[in-house]
Amino acid sequence: MASHVSKLTLHSKVRLSSGFDMPVLGFGVYMAHGEDVINSVYHALKTGYRHIDSATLYENEREVGIAIKKWIEDTGGKREDVFYTTKIWDTDQGYKNAKKAINWSLRECDLGYIDLYLIHSPYPGRDMRLETWKAMEEAVAEGKIKSIGVSNYGIKHLKELEKNAKIQPAVNQLEIHPFLVRSELVDYCQNHNIVVEAFCPITRGQKFKDPRVQAVVAKHNKTPAQVLLRWSLQRGLVPLPKSTKPERIEENADLFDFELDDDDMKSLTTDEYYVIDWDPTNTA
């Protein structure tokens, strides 16, 4: 399980079904606002992250854009160096609303285009989901968005797209960690060329003291967050840790000088269904 990932680096990327490449480690900005977002995203980019995950719900798309543009200006970097994701919230779903929401997000971030645009959840129902997807497909054709995907989708929601969509989702973003493994759903995605991103990958610290985590921490002399993030990477996931603290931002990127062996992976992987955030995957 471990052998194919030893050569991963902070700059490694995964190829999406859309043909674009996405960095294997992302940086989340949920619940961060104002100067905190600008400073943390800037520091993340300075640390070497090249993948930033926002959403309309987070109310910080503008600040994320400011930080990315500042980093580009200060370093001589390019827009295409940074992979920027945002998501459409439930109340903006439906064809006409989605078209407006996409344009709103484009204006807010002011980055010229969006690398990845996701349906944030399946809660609004089948018709709204499919109308929203149609608007997203049109935005791809118009060059506003490079890749499109979903978040919190269960297998039945993915099958719905498989039957009705012109463009299949490149990504499904889910809460995943060793205490919420979702093996069947992850296998389905990976077998259908859908890259799985993991939010809450370090359990918001709730499982740092779990003896199974602590045993691997002691063995590798790494932090609980680093062990949990490495587990994600070695499962073939794209984890999205978040922090506004510079030292944590750096710690969460320091994942590429060690490797979990098969015993570590097995001992960490539980059959629990421990939801930390929310779980829309079983909705109608």
Catalytic residue positions? 58, 120
Calpha distance 139→130 (Å, rounded): 14
The DSSP bridge pattern shows strands 83-88 and 27-28 to be unpaired
Residue matched to tokens 């990127």: 253
* Amino acid (one-letter) located at 270: T
Dihedral, 1, 152, 145, 196 alpha carbons, nearest 10: 0
Residue matched to tokens 């970097």: 77
The partner residues of 147 in beta bridges, in order of sequence, read 116
Task: Dump strand ranges (E) for 47-188.
Answer: 51-53, 83-88, 114-119, 145-151, 171-175
